C-alpha cells in the first residue's frame, strides 16, 4: 500500500505542533511540520488561552503540510491537555476568552461543591480525582462570578473539540477528554446530569459525546482555501493528550495489567490501563482518577505535578536573565548533593506559583530541611521528590488493582531527562522502559489511521509504535539509599497529613 499521511495537531503546555504521521509498511514516521509557542496569556490578571493566535498557527502548519504531503493526506485531528473548554452562543459566537486551568478563579470551588453534594457522591458519579483545575470547578467558578455568560452558552466544547469545530463545523465532545471534566459518569459513559443539576450547572449546553476515531466531517471550505488542503476528513483522535500518549505505549502486553505507565511532561500522569473504572472507597480515599481510553479501556491514574516544577524554576532564572536549558539544569542536578532536601511535588503551593523557587524554599524551611539555593539543588530536589512520589503511586496502583507491577513505561518529553529516568528505576525498584518521546503525537495519528481502516486494534497501534521507535531500559540501582530516602519521604507526607 502506498504511504498515507495523517496530520496531528498537538497543543502542549510550552509549544504546539502540527505533525505529519506517515504510515508505510506497518511503520509510522512522525515529522514535525511546524512548531509554535503556546502557554497562558495573562489578560487583566487572568490566565487565558490565546485561541485566535493558536488557530492562525495551526492554519500555517496545515498549509506547510499541504505543500509537502498534498494528496497523501487522509485526515487531521487535534489533541491537547484536559479540562479546559470554550463556550459558544446560539449564534456561534465565542463567549469570552477561554480560561487556562491554572487561573486561580477555581480556588474554594471544591469546598463549594462538597457543601452542596457529599464528596463521596461526587466521586461515585464521576470516578474522577478531586483537583480544582477540573472543568466541574471551572464551571462552578463561572456560575459564581459570571452567571450571565454561562447562561448564554448554547454549547460547551473542550479545547480540541473547539478546534475541530473551527476545522469542520462539528459540535461534539470526544470521550477521553470528556472524562477529565469530572462531569461524566464512568458507568453510563454519559454526562453526569444529576450531579450537574444538583450543582446548578446548566446541562443543555453539553453536546453529544463521540468515541476516539470518530469522523467529524470534512474541512470547511474556507479552511481548504486558506491551507491548500483538499476535502480531507477531520477525525477525533483520543483528544486528551494523555489518552493519546497511553495509546502509543510500546507494550506487547495490552490487556495484561502488570505494567504501568507515566506520561511524563509538564505533568506526570502515572497509572495502569484497566477494562473498568475502579471506583469504591479506597480509590476515593487515595484520590485516584478513571479517565477514558481507547476501546472502552480506562486509565486508572494519578496526576503528579511533574516537570512543571523544573519548567517553572527555569522560567524564574530566565526572567532574571540567566538562560539555563534543560540539559544544563539536569547536569547541575547530577552534580548536586543527593537527597539534601525533599518536597511533596503535589503540595498545592506548586500549582501556580509566582516564583517556584520560593515555594520550594518555603516547603523546605517549614519541614526543617536545608533550603535549596543553586539551580542544581532546586532541580535535584524536584527530580528526587518526583521519583519518590512515583514509588508511592506505584504501591497504591498495586493495592487498587491487586496486581504486582513488573515494568514501568515512561513516554513523553520528560524521558529526555535521563537522570529522572534512572532515579525512577532506583526509587520504584523495577525496570523502566523509556520512549517514545512523541507518544502523544503517535497516538493521535495512529487512532486516525485506525479510523481510516489502515490499522485494526489498540494492540496493533502499539505494535506499530514498537516497530517504529527506539526504547531505552533503565535497571534499578542503589536500592539501600533509595529505601532510606523513601522512609524520609513518607515521614514528610505523613507529617503533612
From candidates 173, 269, 278, 461, binder to ligand LRH by CB under 6 A = 269
From candidates 174, 241, 347, 384, binder to ligand LRH by CB under 6 A = 241
Binding status of residue 326 toward ligand ADP by CB under 6 A: yes
Query: Residue 459 corresponds to which cell in the numbers above?
Result: 494492540
Inter-axis angle of helices 375-401 and 356-366, nearest 10: 70
3-class secondary-structure state, position 152? helix
Whichever of 82 and 127 has its CB closer to ligand LRH, that residue is 82
Query: Cα–Cα distances in Å, from 149 out to 86, 100, 155?
Result: 11, 17, 12
Binding status of residue 250 toward ligand ADP by CB under 6 A: no
Can you list the alpha helix ranges (DSSP code H) found in 370-438?
Answer: 375-401, 418-428
Binding status of residue 77 toward ligand ADP by CB under 6 A: no
> Distance (Å, rounded) from C-alpha 303 to C-alpha 316?
24
From candidates 150, 155, 307, 316, binder to ligand ADP by CB under 6 A = 307
Edge-to-edge strand ranges of the sheet holding 4-11: 27-37, 15-24, 4-11, 73-80, 233-235, 215-218
> Distance (Å, rounded) from C-alpha 437 to C-alpha 261?
13
From candidates 16, 98, 213, 265, binder to ligand ADP by CB under 6 A = 265
Contacts of 427 (CB under 8 A, 6+ apart): 387, 388, 390, 391, 482, 485, 486
From candidates 5, 7, 9, 13, binder to ligand ADP by CB under 6 A = 13
Q: What is the residue-wise DSSP string for 4-64?
A: EEEEEEEE-SSEEEEEEEEEETTEEEEEEEEEEE---EEETTEEE--HHHHHHHHHHHHHH
Tell me which stretch binds ligand LRH (CB under 6 A): 25-33, 111-119, 155-163, 263-271.
263-271
From the list ligand ADP, ligand LRH, none, which binds 269 (C-beta under 5 to 8 Å, kind-based)?
ligand LRH
Closest separation in Å from C-beta 368 to ligand LRH: 32
Whichever of 85 and 165 has its CB closer to ligand LRH, that residue is 85
Binding status of residue 384 toward ligand LRH by CB under 6 A: no
Report which secondary-structure segment, H or E, holds 410.
strand 407-411
Catalytic annotation present for 346? no
Query: Cα–Cα distances in Å, from 268 out to 154, 264, 322, 339, 393?
Result: 34, 4, 26, 21, 11
Nearest residue to ligand LRH on Cβ basis: 81
Query: Residue 298 corresponds to which cell in the numbers above?
Result: 480506562
From the list ligand ADP, ligand LRH, none, which binds 14 (C-beta under 5 to 8 Å, kind-based)?
ligand ADP
From the list ligand LRH, ligand ADP, none, which binds 127 (C-beta under 5 to 8 Å, kind-based)?
none
The residue with cell 485506525 is: 450
Binding status of residue 434 toward ligand ADP by CB under 6 A: no
Closest separation in Å from C-beta 138 to ligand LRH: 11
Q: What is the residue-wise DSSP string for 312-327?
A: HHHHHHHHTT----HH
Single out the catalytic residue among 103, 161, 241, 347: 241
Binding status of residue 186 toward ligand ADP by CB under 6 A: no
Closest separation in Å from C-beta 433 to ligand ADP: 17
Binding status of residue 413 toward ligand LRH by CB under 6 A: no
| Interface positions with ligand LRH (CB under 6 A) | 81-83, 101, 133, 180, 240-242, 266-267, 269, 303
Catalytic positions, written as ranges: 241
Amino acid at each position: 500500500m502506498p504511504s498515507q499521511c495523517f496530520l496531528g495537531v498537538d497543543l502542549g503546555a510550552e509549544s504546539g505542533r502540527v505533525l505529519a504521521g506517515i504510515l508505510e509498511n506497518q511503520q509510522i514516521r512522525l515529522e514535525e511540520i511546524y512548531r509554535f509557542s503556546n502557554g497562558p496569556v495573562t489578560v487583566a490578571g487572568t490566565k487565558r488561552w490565546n485561541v485566535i493566535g493558536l488557530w492562525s498557527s495551526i492554519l500555517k502548519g496545515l498549509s506547510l503540510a499541504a505543500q509537502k504531503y498534498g494528496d497523501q493526506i487522509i485526515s487531521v485531528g487535534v489533541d491537547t491537555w484536559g479540562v479546559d473548554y470554550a463556550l459558544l452562543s446560539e449564534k456561534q459566537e465565542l463567549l469570552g476568552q477561554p480560561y487556562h486551568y491554572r487561573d486561580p478563579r477555581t480556588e474554594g470551588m471544591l469546598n463549594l461543591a462538597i457543601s452542596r453534594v457529599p464528596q463521596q457522591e461526587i466521586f461515585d458519579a464521576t470516578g474522577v480525582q478531586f483537583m480544582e483545575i477540573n472543568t466541574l470547578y471551572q464551571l462552578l467558578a463561572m456560575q459564581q462570578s459570571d452567571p450571565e455568560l454561562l447562561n448564554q452558552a448554547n454549547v460547551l466544547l473542550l479545547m480540541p473539540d473547539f478546534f475541530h469545530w473551527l476545522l469542520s463545523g462539528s459540535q461534539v465532545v470526544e470521550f477521553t477528554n470528556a472524562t477529565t471534566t469530572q462531569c461524566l459518569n464512568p458507568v453510563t459513559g454519559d454526562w453526569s446530569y444529576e450531579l450537574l443539576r444538583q450543582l446548578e450547572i446548566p446541562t443543555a449546553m453539553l453536546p453529544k459525546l463521540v468515541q476516539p476515531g470518530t469522523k467529524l466531517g470534512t474541512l470547511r471550505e474556507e479552511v481548504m482555501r486558506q491551507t491548500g488542503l483538499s476535502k480531507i476528513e477531520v477525525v477525533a483522535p483520543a483528544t486528551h493528550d494523555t489518552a493519546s500518549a497511553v495509546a502509543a505505549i510500546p507494550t506487547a502486553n495490552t490487556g495484561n495489567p502488570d505494567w504501568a505507565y507515566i506520561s511524563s511532561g509538564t505533568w506526570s500522569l502515572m497509572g495502569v490501563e484497566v477494562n473498568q473504572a475502579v471506583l469504591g472507597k479506597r480509590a476515593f480515599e487515595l484520590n485516584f482518577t478513571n479517565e477514558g481510553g481507547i476501546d472502552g479501556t480506562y486509565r486508572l491514574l494519578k496526576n503528579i505535578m511533574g516537570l512543571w516544577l523544573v519548567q517553572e524554576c527555569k522560567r524564574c532564572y530566565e526572567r532574571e536573565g540567566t538562560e539555563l536549558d534543560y540539559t544544563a539544569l539536569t547536569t547541575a542536578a547530577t552534580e548536586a548533593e543527593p537527597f539534601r532536601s525533599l518536597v511533596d511535588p503535589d503540595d498545592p503551593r506548586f500549582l501556580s506559583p509566582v516564583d517556584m523557587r520560593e515555594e520550594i524554599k518555603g516547603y523546605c524551611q517549614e519541614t526543617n530541611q536545608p533550603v535549596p539555593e543553586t539551580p542544581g539543588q532546586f532541580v535535584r530536589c524536584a527530580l528526587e521528590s518526583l521519583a519518590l512520589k512515583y514509588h508511592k503511586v506505584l504501591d497504591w496502583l498495586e493495592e487498587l488493582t491487586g496486581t504486582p507491577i513488573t515494568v514501568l513505561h515512561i513516554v513523553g518529553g520528560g524521558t529526555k531527562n535521563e537522570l529522572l529516568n534512572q532515579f525512577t528505576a532506583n526509587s520504584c525498584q523495577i525496570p523502566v522502559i523509556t520512549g517514545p518521546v512523541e507518544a502523544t503525537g503517535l497516538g493521535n495519528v495512529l487512532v486516525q489511521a485506525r479510523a481510516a481502516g489502515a490499522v485494526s486494534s489498540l494492540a496493533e497501534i502499539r505494535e506499530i509504535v514498537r516497530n517504529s521507535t527506539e526504547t531505552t531500559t533503565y535497571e534499578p540501582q542503589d536500592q539501600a539509599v533509595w529505601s532510606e530516602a523513601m522512609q524520609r519521604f513518607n515521614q514528610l507526607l505523613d507529617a503533612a497529613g
